[in-house]
Amino acid sequence: MGITQLNRRTLVQGVAVGAVGIHALAATNSLAQSDTTVKIGVSEDGYRTDERANVGFYPLNTGIFESLVHLGEDYQIKPLLAESWEFVEPNTWRITLRQDVSFHDGTAFNAEAVKYTMDRIASNGGGSMGLGADSCVIVDDFTVEITSSRPNRRLMQQIGHPNNSILPVGLNPAESRIGTGPFKEVEYVAGDHFTVETNAEYWGDDKPEIAGITFNFYPDPTARMLALQAGDVDMITDVSRPAAGQVEQMGATLLRSPVGGYEAFYIQIHGEEPYHLGADPAVREAISLAIDRNVIVQNAWQGNAEPGHTMIPPAILGDSVSIVAEPTYDLEKAKSLLEEAGWTGDDIRAKDGTALTLTIINGYGTAADHGTVPEILQAQLREAGIDLQIVQTPDTATYEQRLSLGEGDLWLEAGSQNDGNPGFLPGLLFASPEEGGDPESTMYGRAFAPGAAFDEQIEITNNAVDMAEVQEAAALGMNLLINEEHIVVPLCGFFRMVGASEKITEFSLHPSGVNQRWTSLRVKG
C-alpha cells in the first residue's frame, strides 16, 4: 500500500511503505484528537432490516461479526472461525471450528451457531453458495458438513463474504448485534452513526489497540471531505479519484490499497444491426490496440489508478497472473488491421457502405464513475478511423435495460470483487447463457459470451478442488477474453483510497472494502 504525504488523484512529494500499513505520519494539520477512539466518515447507511438483515456486517463491516474464513488482502482465504476444512466427494465441505471462541455475551461459539446461520441463509434463497434447508449438518460440537444444493467446489471462497457472518442461535441482526469479533456494539442510530468499542476478550491475535470506532454516515462524498477538513472525523473512506488531491491539499494523508477494482469495456459480439460491428474480430482487436491506457490513467484519474490488464484483482490469480498478457497500445497496427479487413477511408472508415460507427453505453455503476473516460476513448478511437458515439445512461437500471435489449456496441463498466473465487466474475458475465433463461440473468452472456473454449475454463474453475488449477483456468479464460477474442478491453486497475488525519499512525487498507478489518488501526495516544 502506498501513501502520499501533503501532495496531490499535492504540495510535497509522497513516500511509499509496505502493504502492512503506514507508519509515522507527519504531524502537519490540526485534525488530531487526544483519545484513542477513532471517528471515521463512511458513505450512506446501506444496511437491510428485513428478513435478510445484515446490520453491522454488510456493506459496512464494523468488526462485530466474523465469518468462517477471511479474504486476505492478497485475495486468498485465511482461517478465521474455521480452523481447517476438507472437501468430501462428491459435493461436501467438512469444516473444523475453533474451540476457544465466545460471543460477546459469553455464549460459546460452536456448530449450533454455524448451522443456525447457514439455515438462515438457506431460508432466504441460499445465497451464492446455493444452500438448501438440509445443507448444513452438525457432526459434533466443533465440526459441520455443508453440502450445497448444486455442485459447488468454490464454497469456501464464498463463505467468507461478510454476508455469511456467524450469528449466535436465535439472533436477528435487525434487532441486536452480538458477534465474536474484535469490536462490540455500543450504539447504532440508523442513517447517522454506528459506534463500537474494543472487545477486550477477543480470541484472535490481531487485537485492537484503540478504544473503539464511531462510523459516521455521510452519503455525500463532499460532506465526508468537509468533515475531515473540519476535524469532525479522523478518517474518511472511499475517496473519489478526482477528489484525491483535495485530501492532500487540506493537509491530510491519502492512503491507497492494492488493486481490487477495475474499469473495462466489453464489446458486443452477438448484436443485431445496427449494433453488429463488434462481431468482426479485426474491429475488436483494432479497438484494443488503439487504446492508450496510460493517457486514461493520467488524464481521467490524475494517476490514481494503474493501467489494467485483467478485470479481476490480479492477486486472486496467484502465480497464474502471468498467463494474462498485458494489452498493448499500437495505433499503426490498429489501422493496418482495419485496412486489411476492408475498413478503409481517410477519416471515419467504412466497409461495403457501412461506416465504422460504434455506440458506447456509459452507466455501470454510474456514468459519473467514469469521469472523462468516454471522451478520451472517443478521441483515441477516432485516431484509428473509428467513430464512437457516447450514450450516458442515468442509472444502472437503464444501463441494464439497454444491455438486455442489446442496444449498444461497447459497454463501459467499473466493478470489484469481494470473494476469493477467481472464476466468479468471468463466469457470471461471459459464460454461455442457458437456453430459455430469463432476460436479466442471461443478458451478459447473450451479448458477450465467446463460446465453448471459454466455458471449458469456467467449468474447471467451478469443479477443481486444487486452487492452483482454479487460478490457472481463470487466467486462461481471462486471456481468451482479453487477448485472443478481444471482447474485454481492460482500462484501469483501481485501488481504494482513504483520507487520514495526523491522528492515524498506522492502517492496513484492504482492496475490498467489505472485507476491511479495523484491528490494524493505530493512533497517537
- Average pLDDT (492-509) is 96
Q: Kindly report the pTM of this predicted structure.
A: 0.87
Query: Would strands 69-71 and 235-236 be described as parallel, antiparallel, or unpaired?
Result: unpaired
Same domain, 358 and 482: yes
CA distance 396 to 364: 5
Number of folded domains in the chain?
Answer: 3
CA distance 397 to 359: 18
pLDDT grade for 438, boundaries at 50, 70 and 90: confident
Same domain, 288 and 409: yes
Same domain, 56 and 168: yes
The one-letter amino acid code at 16 reads A
CA distance 54 to 173: 6
Same domain, 307 and 387: yes
pLDDT tens, 273-306?
A: 999 999 999 999 999 999 999 999 999 999 999 9
Question: What pLDDT does residue 31 have?
Answer: 29
Same domain, 265 and 401: yes
Q: Do the Cβ atoms of 198 and 460 come closer than 8 Å?
A: no
Q: Closest Cα to residue 185, out of 305, 105, 72, 287?
A: 105
Question: What pLDDT does residue 44 have?
Answer: 94
Helices (H), 330-372: 331-340
Count CB neighbours of 24 within 10 A. 9
Q: Do the Cβ atoms of 154 and 77 come closer than 8 Å?
A: no
pLDDT tens, 36-60?
A: 999 999 999 999 999 999 999 999 9
Q: Do the Cβ atoms of 33 and 505 come closer than 8 Å?
A: no
- The CA–CA distances, whole Å, from 468 to 83, 254, 271, 315, 319 equal 21, 35, 36, 13, 8
Question: What pLDDT does residue 446 have?
Answer: 97
Same domain, 55 and 98: yes
For the chain, give the mean pLDDT: 92
Question: What pLDDT does residue 219 have?
Answer: 93
Same domain, 467 and 507: no
Q: Could you tell me which residues come within 8 angstroms of residue 217 by beta carbon, excluding any fewer than 6 positions away?
A: 42, 43, 44, 45, 191, 192, 193, 194
Same domain, 128 and 110: yes
CA distance 331 to 407: 28
The percent of residues in the chain predicted with pLDDT above 70, rounded, is 93
pLDDT tens, 335-368?
A: 999 999 999 999 999 999 999 999 999 989 889 8
Helix H or strand E encompassing 498: strand 488-500
The one-letter amino acid code at 498 reads V
Same domain, 26 and 150: no
Question: What pLDDT does residue 35 have?
Answer: 85
Same domain, 101 and 87: yes
For residue 59, give the CATH number of its domain.
3.40.190.10
Residue range(s) defining the domain that contains residue 208: 1-43+182-252+501-525
Same domain, 71 and 59: yes
Q: Give the number of C-alpha atoms closer than 13 A to the C-alpha of residue 75, restricted to the C-beta side.
A: 27
Question: What pLDDT does residue 252 have?
Answer: 96
Work out the angle between the directed axes of helices 467-479 and 452-463 (0-180°, nearest 10).
160
Q: Do the Cβ atoms of 348 and 254 come closer than 8 Å?
A: no
Q: Closest Cα to residue 318, out of 466, 418, 492?
A: 466
